[in-house]
Amino acid sequence: MRKAFFLLAFILPVCSVLAQTIPTIVVPSATDQNYYLIKSTGNNNEATVDQQNPDNWARILQPGNGNKAVVKQINHNTDVDNVIGKVYQSGNNNKAFITQEHDGTLGPLGVMEARTHQTGNGNRATQIQGPGTKTGVMLAVTNQSGDGNVGHQEQHGYNNNEFINQEGNNNVGRQLQENNVMGSNTVIMQTGSGNKAFQNQTGSGTALNALTMQSGNGNKSTQNQTGWVNLALVDQQGNTSVARQDQAGPLNLAGIRQKTNGNVARQSQDNTGGDHTAGYPAANVALILQQGGNGNVAQQTQTSVSTPVWEANYGAIYQNGGNNKAFQTQDGGNNLGYVIQVGNGNVAHASQSQIITP
């Protein structure tokens, strides 16, 4: 019964990630050293802003097609308050590039912020931030509405936050966070069909959270995490969707939730050595929930080389419908696995190998 809460434990982290506080939008003051506002109306225009002072602000507005906006903010000063870059484009086949580099010290309330808003089809948005210190906040936000758009975000530092919101079909969202990321979040929300989401968090940081939410048909989600206290969640609603999660590191937690027909979910957790620190109880937990349809496939693989005295590895698969398949493999821990299938024609394979070390 202690493990019967797995559905609740799956849903609550989703709410926790979404409840992360987004920093308040900052308004430039008279003390800011650089503030640029560029507006170009028409097609095939190019606007470039290059700022290298302690406090930088840039805003580019481009209504039209085939436009290009470039914001480059490089700062090596200490005690920087804000580094802000924003691009607004409406039209088709536009491109936006925001690069923010800072290796000094952001103020305690300092924000390195990149925002791109694009409406139309075939647009491209690229945001690159970092490195940074343990002070301040890094924030990258991309909003795209239309078809065939691509959003790419990279953050290299501490306290990172990436958000991609795409409405339309055949869009692609990519997020990368690396180096010593701590307290970092990546969120991709896609509405439409044929969309793809890629999230990658690497480094030796803690509290790494990745969330993908997709509604529509034929969507794909891939999540990769390497670090401490990882959390990866995928929520898909629609037909023929595919979700994949790979985590390697001391402490992992992964959950996939899919609803309706023909979905495929894969999970793989390694733990690479099984070293743990007191106060971090999770040692690989994988959760898959598939409901309300036929032809679902779920697969879990967990490996831990050594295990502390507390319980490690836990897998739970719940499927509701016919013709479902579930595969579980757990190795090197105090393993406990569930497979619950409701309906006819279901197939389940479970394999567990238990290793206990002092």
- Model pLDDT for residues 115-125, shown as the tens digit of each residue: 999 999 999 99
- pLDDT at 162 (0 to 100): 93
Average confidence (pLDDT) over 247-259: 69
- pLDDT at 332 (0 to 100): 66
The encoded tokens of residue 277 equal 């620190």
Confidence (pTM):
0.79
Distance CA 114, CA 143 (A): 11
Q: 29 versus 229: which is more confidently predicted?
A: 229
| Lowest-confidence pick of 37-51, 84-98, 271-285 | 271-285
Instruction: Assign 264 a pLDDT band (cuts: 50, 70, 90).
Output: confident
Q: Kindly report the average pLDDT of the chain as a whole number.
A: 75
Whole-angstrom CA distances from 272 to 251, 304, 306, 307, 315 are 10, 7, 9, 11, 18
Instruction: Assign 358 a pLDDT band (cuts: 50, 70, 90).
Output: very low
Other beta carbons less than 10 A from residue 14's beta carbon: 17
Average confidence (pLDDT) over 18-34: 47
Asked whether the beta carbons of 100 and 131 are under 8 A apart, the reply is: no
Other beta carbons less than 10 A from residue 279's beta carbon: 6
Distance CA 335, CA 279 (A): 20
Q: What percent of the chain has pLDDT over 70?
A: 59
- The residue extents of the domains of the chain are 35-225, 239-274+281-358
Q: What is the distance of C-alpha 146 from the center of its chain? A: 21
The DSSP 8-state label assigned to residue 61 in this structure reads E
pLDDT digits (tens, 9 = 90+) for 186-202: 999 999 999 999 998 88
